[in-house]
Structure 1
Amino acid sequence: MTARRSFVIFAVVAALGAGAAVPASAQSALSLSRRGTSVGIAAALGNRDRPEADRAADANRKPAALLAFAGLRRGMNVADIMPGRGYFTRIFSNVVGADGHVWAVVPAERVAKKPDAADAVKAIAADASFGNVTVLVQPLDAISIPKPLDLAWTSQNYHDVYYGSGADAALALDKAVFAALRRGGIFMVVDHVANPGMTPDAVRTLHRIDPALIRRQVEAVGFHFEGESKVLANGQDTHSLPVFDPSIRGHTDQVVLKFRKP
């Protein structure tokens, strides 16, 4: 980014914070910056190195809107925490490019129970098309990344930590993420929604979580709540079925929460 463009975008932020009118030139620069981010994400989604199964899932998972909300862009250092088979890992890699890096963090606790749990993302990291991906097998309460992170991400996993290992384990994860992020870094949590007030035993079988629990846990370690996206909301989901039920699988009501390290 040129010094002139950086100055203009800074002027936008300053003016908005002060409630002042934003100059037309600054509005144009900010619009251009956002457009560039959107183009980068669109190009990443269209990359032919993505498996067909991932492309088919895009309609339901809505990665373009999610990553635009997160502010993902070229050059960022990103941690994909509990990456599964690497759906987001590939997209992150394509967006951040050679100037950025992606760490796929597979829980050591998971690998202890399922030795091949990291194999899918290890295969991604071994592919020359994704040379900016590194796989780390680490305990979730002791995540250690070589560089300060711009973005930490976990999708459809927080409930497993909270109800599988306990609230203290989820809090320990939040603390580890907080330590791994740079000041101003973003922590994104996406998960299946549960109704408030359900007993832990009832919610555990549904693989869901009350969004208020996530907020309470994450803010308790020092994060500031930045906002919520409704891009994955589904008002037809009653939150009464397990997320794997064929009638709702892939279409659950999901919360998208964005937090910032001050």
Structure 2
Amino acid sequence: MRVLDMGAGGGYSTELLARAVGSSGTVYAQDSQAVSPRATERFDERAKTSAMRNVVRVLRDYDDPVPPGVRDLDLITFFFAYHDTAFMSVDRARMNRGLFEALKPGGVLVVADHSAQAGAGTSVAKSLHRIEEATLRREVEAAGFRLAAEADFLRHREDPRDSIVFRPKVPVDEFVLKFVRP
């Protein structure tokens, strides 16, 4: 199995994916050159573990996140970082087309992020680190993806979605969407 982990940061989800695909799989851990030094330190420390032997670190801009020659991926994950692309001046349409093209037919894109209030779009992406689910869904589907499933295990409807996710008064409402390349 071949996987791309978008916005890998400190490598937590990358390590989980590497353990899941095993020694015969490959996980590409993408981050932009603007990744924080703290996240880089955490990733580098984690990379020393045996679980990360099958991980390839990819430092590429979000506009063009997939390394040349990497195609027919089985899975792409984008956990709690899609909203960041909204305030980083990323061409998200280009990014999403690149992700679509990198997946094999039937390949899966799983996106999880922090919910913004209805109508917020990307306006609170930097201030609250949230994105409106409908906006994200429209952007991803515009690249050719088809929504295959939604999960509610991270939903917290009691969250008014009006505060920064790092200091919540109540658990943060988060969405998980599974898209497929037809």
Q: Does the pair score TM above 0.5?
A: yes
Higher helix share: 1
* Partner in structure 2 of residue 253 of structure 1: 173
Q: Which runs of 4+ in 1 moved over 6 A?
A: none
Q: Is the Cα–Cα contact under 8 Å of residues 104 and 121 in structure 1 kept in the other structure?
A: no
| Larger Rg over CA atoms | 1
Structure 1 or 2: larger strand share? 2
The unaligned stretches of length 5 or more in structure 1 are 1-75
Give the alignment of 1:1-262 within 5 angstroms: 76-108=1-33, 110-111=34-35, 114=36, 117-145=39-67, 146-162=70-86, 164-166=87-89, 169-198=91-120, 201-202=123-124, 204-248=126-170, 251-262=171-182
> What one-letter code is carried by the residue in structure 2 that aligns with 1:84?
G
3-state SS in 1 of match to 2:57: strand
Q: For the residues of structure 2 that align with 1:84 and 1:143, how far apart are their CA atoms?
A: 14
How big is the shift at 1:117?
A: 4.3
Cα deviation 1:174-222 (Å, max 9, x = unaligned) = 1121121111111111000011123754553111111000110001011
Q: Please state how far the C-alpha of 1:120 moved relative to its aligned partner.
A: 2.5
Cα 1:233/1:260, change in 2 over 3 Å: same
Could you tell me whether the CA contact under 8 Å between 2:124 and 2:131 is conserved in 1? no
SS in 2 for 1:159: helix
Structure 1 residues 246 and 232, CA gap change in structure 2 (3 angstroms): closer
The amino acid that maps onto 1:152 is I
Name the Cα RMSD after superposition.
1.9
- The one-letter amino acid of 2:77's match is W
Matched to 1:158, the amino acid is Y
* Alignment size in residue pairs: 180
- Cα deviation 1:213-248 (Å, max 9, x = unaligned): 011000101111111100100011111111112424
Indicate conservation of the 8 Å contact 2:84/2:129, yes or no. yes
Contact kept, 8 Å, 1:82 with 1:105, in 2: the verdict is yes
TM-score (norm 1): 0.63
Q: Could you tell me whether the CA contact under 8 Å between 1:182 and 1:261 is conserved in 2?
A: yes
Give the distance between the partners of 1:200 and 1:140, measured in 2 at CA: 16
Structure 2: which amino acid aligns with 1:85? G
Q: Is the 8 A contact 1:143 1:180 kept in 2?
A: no
Distance 1:199 1:139, change over 3 A: closer
Deviation at 1:260, TM superposition (A): 0.6
Q: Identity of counterpart residues, as a percentage?
A: 33
Could you tell me the TM-score, scaled by structure 2's length? 0.89
The answer on whether the counterparts of 2:100 and 2:181 sit within 8 Å (CA) in structure 1 is yes
Instruction: Tell me, in whole angstroms, the C-alpha distance in 2 between the residues paired with 1:77 and 1:200.
Output: 30
Contact 2:124 2:130 in 1 (8 A): no
Shift of 1:118: 3.0
Find the residue that maps to 1:185 and give its secondary structure. Answer: strand
Amino acid at match of 2:82: Y
